[in-house]
Amino acid sequence: MARDRYIAFPYADRFAAVQAGLPGGALPWLADMRADAIRRVRDDGLPTQRIEAWKYTNLNALVKGDYSPAAETPSSAAPRDGLLAWDADAHRLVFANGRFQSSLSEIGALPDGVVLRPLSETLADEAELVEAHLGHLAAANGNALVSLNTAFWGDGLVLHLPRGARLDRPVHALFLGDGAAGATAFHPRLLVVAEESSEAVLIESHIGSGDYWSNPLAEITLGRNARLAHYKLQDEAREATHLSHSRIALGRDSSYESFVMSAGARLSRNEISVVLDGEGAEARLLGGYMGTGDQHLDTSTLIEHAKPHGTSQELYKGALDGKARGVFQGKIAVLEDAQKTDAHMLNKTLMLSGEAEIDTKPELEIYADDVKCGHGATAGEIEEDALFYLRARGIGEDRARSMLTEAFLKDAVEQVRFAPVRDRLDSLVSGWLAAH
């Protein structure tokens, strides 16, 4: 381990104490996968800021946090009042400190062949399905946080859509964090396999209270002409740490739409990697971030165009107040065979305080010669002309600033195609502005 580039993480030593209680202990392939993952963590350690991908995000607080793996018994955490009302029509799976809560969950009737279950139950009844896909996209490849999830995951979600299956109700995975008993860590795993011409909407909500560390990992595979809309609302407790990874592979003519809203946690990072591995695939990565106080909100994306006629769009917009710090690192890589690629990326940040900070680094890496690609980034304060226009019409300065900030953030929200989530995001933006 290069000590200037990686740092040892004692949390890995807790694996031996919890190993026997993790799902699938009797399955040799899974036991080997977990053992290999924890070995990688011990060998590699956590990345420091000398690693380019982590240049703007410091994990020292995670190392010093003295986190303990969540207990096998589910936490008593409960959803906030009214949180479940907005998704009344959804298939809902609720997890508390990473453990499935059947009493709060509700899975309705499903089309023939569709699997929607907690990962632990699927592993017990349909181990072949899990073995065929788990870990194939999220290989450790030097990422200690991915390895930690592979070693420590205690539960999660499996969604398998056979050919032609379409869900007429969204899937809502609600993750509750509870750090009342002390610094707690949990590592949810999401596995989505959508076969040819299937379609679904997947929603993640992350909330909680107290000091905890959530380390979720999603693996998503879309077959030919499959469609998945994947929305994530990160509104963790202010004391929490949220470090997540999503790995997505797109087949021919498939479509993936993502929106990630980051508003909670003291330290958060959403890392998304998408490979357009089929001709004509489409990826839309949208998102927003709202930070205040001393929050640190990191969004890091990689879109790799591997086949011709692929299209990708990225739009991330944020507002930062107080001493909050935002990070946006977006990279589009167009490989040699990916001719006729159309890819565009844009990051815009509104600075509401002179002490707020944004680090933005959009990148293009192009090896094909017949493409249309572009990227850009801007950061600045509210335009004085727009502010003057509203004040000249009798609107107070505070209200005028709030209106302009809301319009700025909702420009990204309005591009979400699924109306219930779009409305929920609108409410989050309005609520955040009202509180600040």
> Cα(175)–Cα(212) distance, rounded to whole angstroms?
12
Predicted model pTM = 0.96
pLDDT at 78: 64
Q: Are 159 and 191 in contact (CB under 8 A)?
A: yes
Burial of 273 (0-12, 13-18, 19+ CB in 10 A): middle
- Work out whether the CA dihedral 408, 413, 415, 420 comes out positive or negative: negative
pLDDT at 234: 97
- From first to last of its 436 residues, the chain has per-residue pLDDT tens of 556 788 999 999 999 999 999 999 899 999 999 999 999 999 889 999 999 999 999 999 999 989 999 876 655 666 665 566 667 789 999 999 999 999 999 999 999 999 999 999 999 889 999 999 999 998 755 689 999 999 999 999 999 999 999 999 999 999 999 998 788 999 999 999 999 999 999 999 999 999 999 999 999 999 999 999 999 999 999 999 999 999 999 999 999 999 999 999 999 999 999 999 999 999 999 999 999 999 999 999 999 999 999 999 999 999 999 999 999 999 999 999 999 999 999 999 999 999 999 999 999 999 999 999 999 999 999 988 988 888 888 899 888 999 999 999 999 999 999 999 999 999 999 999 998 7
Q: What are residue 192's DSSP bridge partners? A: 159, 220
pLDDT at 6: 87
Q: Are 345 and 362 in contact (CB under 8 A)?
A: yes
User: Can you tell me whether residue 339 is helix, strand or coil?
Assistant: coil
Q: What are residue 230's DSSP bridge partners? A: 202, 258
The DSSP element (H or E) to which 249 belongs, if any, is strand 241-250
DSSP 387: H
CA atoms within a 13 Å half-sphere pointing along the CA-CB vector of 216: 30
Burial of 336 (0-12, 13-18, 19+ CB in 10 A): exposed
Report the b/e string of 290-325 with b at 16+ CB within 10 A.
Answer: bbbeebbbbbbbbbbbbbbbbbbbbbbbbbbbebbb
Q: Are 281 and 252 in contact (CB under 8 A)?
A: yes
Residues whose CB is less than 8 angstroms from the CB of residue 58 and which lie 6 or more positions away in sequence, other chains included: 48, 49
User: Can you tell me whether residue 355 is helix, strand or coil?
Assistant: coil
> Cα(430)–Cα(191) distance, rounded to whole angstroms?
32
Q: Number of helices (H) and strands (E) in the chain: give both, helices first.
A: 9, 22
DSSP 227: E
> Cα(103)–Cα(95) distance, rounded to whole angstroms?
10
Q: Are 63 and 148 in contact (CB under 8 A)?
A: no
pLDDT at 140: 53
Strands 199-214 and 171-186, bridge-based pairing: parallel
Q: Are 325 and 356 in contact (CB under 8 A)?
A: yes
pLDDT at 390: 85
Choose among 258, 259, 256: nearest CA to 280.
256
Alpha-carbon Rg of the chain, whole angstroms? Answer: 21
Q: Are 411 and 426 in contact (CB under 8 A)?
A: no
What are the phi and psi torsion angles at 42 (to 5°)? -65, -35
Report how far apart, in Å, the C-alpha atoms of 129 and of each of 26, 67, 125, 198 are: 16, 32, 9, 17
* Amino acid residing at 73: T
